Amino acid sequence: MPDSERLHDRARAMRKQPTPAERRLWQRLRNRQLGGLKFRRQLPLGPYIADFACKGPAVIIECDGGQHAENAYDARRDAWFAAEGYRVFRFWNGEILDNLEGVLETILRDLGRR
């Protein structure tokens, strides 16, 4: 099976079993609820899968658990996304679960939408 096909299969599986933080954030990103932006979840981009991505403006939102602390793989992903023109927002799962409104306000403010 080619790499791109495996990546799409993995993204599909990840959409079927989101983490609690991803599920909660998706409820507020879907259907253009956040500033009219169209987000897609678990979107394959190049060799990576973005948790949530909006192509216009080019934005990626990542939900991070403890395994992402000081992670060299994440640094490479972020660099690749940035080179492709994406702005990457990273939030800890606990932050999303405990302060979702603050997370959404941060995204809107940093995008100049508020």
Query: What does pTM read for this prediction?
Result: 0.90
Task: Give 63's pLDDT tier (boundaries 50, 70, 90).
Answer: very high
Tokens representing residue 111 in the block: 């995008």
The answer to whether 20 and 92 have CB atoms below 8 angstroms apart is: no
Percent of all residues in the chain with a pLDDT value above 70, rounded to a whole number: 92
Residue spans of the domains in the chain: they are 3-110
Place of tokens 């992402």: 68
Instruction: Dump pLDDT digits (tens) for 31-58.
Output: 999 999 999 999 999 999 999 999 989 9
Q: Give the separation between CA 68 and CA 72, rounded to whole angstroms.
A: 9
CATH 3.40.640.10 fits 3-110, yes or no: no
